[in-house]
Structure formats: C-alpha cells, structure tokens
C-alpha cells in the first residue's frame, strides 16, 4: 500500500529536493524518512557522511532506517542502477507495499561526469518503475550551479518542498527525449594530445593490447583491466553492429586512461542502451551494459561521420564499489 504523496501512484514516484541550508534540508528529509519508518516501509538513506550524520541526529529514536554510503553506491551510473535494482528486488520480494529512498550524488558528480549522472537520473524513471518506490534526490543550491539544477528539473518529474507540496517539475522531459538528445560533455583535455595508440580496423585483441601497452600512470591494475574489457566489448560492438571503418585511439593522462572507439554507423538506437540491464536481445545491448559497469566515464558522441564511444578510468571520481553497498546498516 502506498502512503504519503505517493499514495495511489503506480511505479516510481521520483522527486528532486532543493535546499539552501541544513535546516531546510532536514525540514524535508525528516518527515519523509520518519513517515516511511512509521508506516513500516523499507526506508533507505544514501547520503554523504555529513548529511547522513545530520539525519541520524534529527530523526526520532524510534525511526528505524537503513544507511548506505553514498560514495560507494554512486561510483558509476550503471553500477548504481544495478545496486538499486538488487535492493529494490529484495525488498519487493519481501512484500513491501512501498519503499522509500533518499539519496544525494557525491561532490565528484559536479564535474566532467555530470551529464552521465543526469542520464542516470533520467533513466531511473523507467529503470525502477516496476517497484513501488518513492525516491527523493537531494541537491544543495549552495554547491550546484544553476545550469546543473536546470538539468535536475529536466530529469525529475516532481519536486518536494518545505511547505509539504509536491508539484510537477515544469521543465521535465520524458527519458526517451532526454537520453536521445546530444551529449554536451566536452572532450577530455587528454584527447587533444597525441594518442599512445591509433589503430584503424583493429581486432578486439589488437585493441586490448593497445590499452595494456599504454603508460598507466597512477591508474590501478584493476582499472586497466576494466578498460581492457570495455574497449574489447566496444570494438566487438562496432564490428558487429556499426559500419566500417572502426578506429581505436588510446591516451594516457597520468591519473587516467582514455580510449575512443569510433565507427561510421549511427550508434545504438535504444536510448537506454548500456544503462539498463539486458536479459535478451542483441549482444550489443549486453556489451554496452558491461562497458558502463567497467568504466568511470562513458560518453557517446554522434556526428555526420558516425559515432564515438569515449571510455575512461581513473581521474577524479569516487572509488568504484565491487558490491555489498547495501549491507543493511540500520539505526535501532
């Protein structure tokens, strides 16, 4: 049974929450979380250390909620979707009539990966729609630029307000339109330098060797292995589903490795490709899902010459979680 503002709603009730102070943050967070606990609903907090501490100190002692580290959950967009789907499936299988989640992206999201995270925010309107989920995504106006807050409004159907209102977001656009639009992410500066490798019509093995041969700098062995897998999948997809010629370039940026896989085709037709898990269909969908799980940043560019998939590991980002982020820490 749905409760609160989501009463009578089917699927994902997805809201943005904007705040200017700790007091304003708590004025919306506490009623939402305490209301879930009072209704006996699974209620999850996925925040950074400081806002999570504010919530812990402000919630009534009887309000039992779960906590998960925001930095671990929000390491990679597709990884966050995978983790949340596992959590939601478990709670729904346990008979939950509604599930409440309050989350906030880490500070690292306000940077080169911003549009990737907005693609995540748009995609979850569909990804979680099979569950009775009410989620609130918190955004601090003091640290999030106005143009980024506009992106938030475009990807969240509703907002929650301190006065208890839950109006529709007027700038909201449906996920298919948002995800199908151009990616405004600028080139990585390392792409303007001479690549460590530039291959035309490579085999997947050639591409894997090019990544392994690049100077890793401070990039870990695990991250290099992740990029090797992702580039191999991208080249395989380009050969099977794209158009020749296929080109692979690899750059070493000291603290990151960047690869670009290009072909002359139009790219994937499914706007959700790579963001949602694939249980059937063409191998290309599964390959893009693997790529999104493996890389810290993934950007798909389209132009008159075809499409380019830019993949990178390392650089400024939170540490990617290898699972177990929802271990069930609970206040009692």
Give me the pLDDT at residue 285, please. Answer: 65
* Type and span of the H or E element at 28: helix 22-38
Give me the pLDDT at residue 204, please. Answer: 97
Give me the pLDDT at residue 241, please. Answer: 93
Q: Distance between CA 158 and CA 52 in Å, rounded?
A: 23
Give me the pLDDT at residue 286, please. Answer: 79
- Contact status, residue 191 vs residue 208, Cβ threshold 8 Å: no
Q: Distance between CA 230 and CA 312 in Å, rounded?
A: 9
Q: Distance between CA 63 and CA 215 in Å, rounded?
A: 51
Q: Distance between CA 180 and CA 262 in Å, rounded?
A: 19
Residue given tokens 């640290």 in the structure block: 143
Give me the pLDDT at residue 124, please. Answer: 97
- Contact status, residue 149 vs residue 136, Cβ threshold 8 Å: no
Q: What is the mean pLDDT of each run of 10 residues along the chain (332 residues)?
A: 96 98 98 98 97 97 94 90 96 97 93 91 96 98 96 98 97 95 88 96 98 96 97 96 97 95 94 80 71 92 93 70 51 50
CA dihedral 89, 94, 97, 103 (to 10 degrees): -50
Distance of CA 186 to the CA centre of its chain: 18
Give me the pLDDT at residue 325, please. Answer: 57
Q: Distance between CA 325 and CA 328 in Å, rounded?
A: 9
Give me the pLDDT at residue 117, please. Answer: 95
* Type and span of the H or E element at 315: none
Q: Distance between CA 227 and CA 297 in Å, rounded?
A: 11
- Contact status, residue 319 vs residue 75, Cβ threshold 8 Å: yes
Give me the pLDDT at residue 108, please. Answer: 86
Q: How far apart are the first and last CA of the chain?
A: 24
Q: Distance between CA 22 and CA 188 in Å, rounded?
A: 35
Give me the pLDDT at residue 321, please. Answer: 43
| Domains located in the chain, CATH noted | 4-179 (3.40.50.300), 189-314 (3.30.565.10)
Give me the pLDDT at residue 323, please. Answer: 44
Give me the pLDDT at residue 320, please. Answer: 44
3-class SS letters over 228-285: HHHHHHHHHHHHHHCCCCCEEEEEECCCEEEEEEEECCCCCCCCCCCCCCCCCCCHHH
Burial class (CB in 10 A: 0-12, 13-18, 19+), 323: exposed
Nearest to 19, CA basis, from 39, 47, 59, 61:
47
Give me the pLDDT at residue 326, please. Answer: 58
Residue given tokens 């158009």 in the structure block: 243
pLDDT digits (tens, 9 = 90+) for 164-186: 999 999 999 999 999 988 888 88
Is the peptide bond preceding residue 245 cis, with omega within 30 degrees of 0?
Answer: yes
* Type and span of the H or E element at 310: strand 306-314
Q: Distance between CA 240 and CA 212 in Å, rounded?
A: 23
């Amino acid at each position: 049974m749905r409760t609160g503002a989501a009463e009578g709603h089917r699927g994902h009730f997805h809201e943005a929450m904007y705040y200017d102070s700790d007091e304003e943050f708590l004025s919306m967070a506490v009623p939402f979380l305490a209301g879930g606990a009072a209704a006996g609903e699974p209620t999850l907090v996925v925040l950074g250390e400081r806002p999570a501490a504010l919530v812990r100190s402000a919630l009534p002692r009887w309000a039992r909620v779960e906590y998960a580290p925001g930095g671990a959950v929000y390491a990679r967009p597709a990884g966050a979707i995978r983790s949340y789907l596992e959590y939601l499936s478990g709670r729904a299988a346990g008979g939950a009539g509604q599930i409440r989640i309050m989350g906030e992206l880490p500070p690292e999201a306000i940077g080169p990966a911003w549009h990737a995270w907005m693609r995540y925010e748009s995609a979850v309107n569909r990804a979680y729609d099979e569950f009775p989920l009410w989620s609130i995504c918190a955004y601090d106006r003091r640290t999030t630029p106005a143009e980024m807050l506009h992106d938030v409004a475009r990807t969240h159907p509703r907002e929650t307000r301190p006065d208890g209102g839950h109006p529709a977001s007027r700038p909201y656009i449906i996920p298919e339109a948002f995800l199908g639009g151009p990616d405004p992410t600028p080139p990585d500066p390392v792409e303007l330098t001479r690549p460590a490798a530039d291959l035309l019509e490579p085999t997947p093995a050639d591409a894997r060797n090019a990544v392994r041969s690049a100077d890793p700098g401070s990039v870990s062995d695990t991250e290099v292995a992740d990029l090797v897998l992702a580039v191999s999948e991208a080249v395989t997809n380009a050969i099977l589903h794209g158009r020749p010629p296929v080109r692979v370039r690899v750059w070493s940026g000291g603290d990151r490795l960047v690869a670009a896989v290009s072909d002359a085709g139009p790219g994937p037709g499914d706007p959700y490709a790579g963001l949602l898990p694939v249980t059937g269909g063409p191998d290309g969908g599964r390959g893009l899902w693997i790529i999104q799980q493996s890389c810290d940043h993934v950007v798909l560019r389209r132009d008159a010459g075809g499409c380019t998939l830019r993949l990178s590991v390392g650089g400024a980002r939170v540490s990617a979680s290898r699972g177990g982020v929802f271990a069930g820490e609970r206040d009692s």
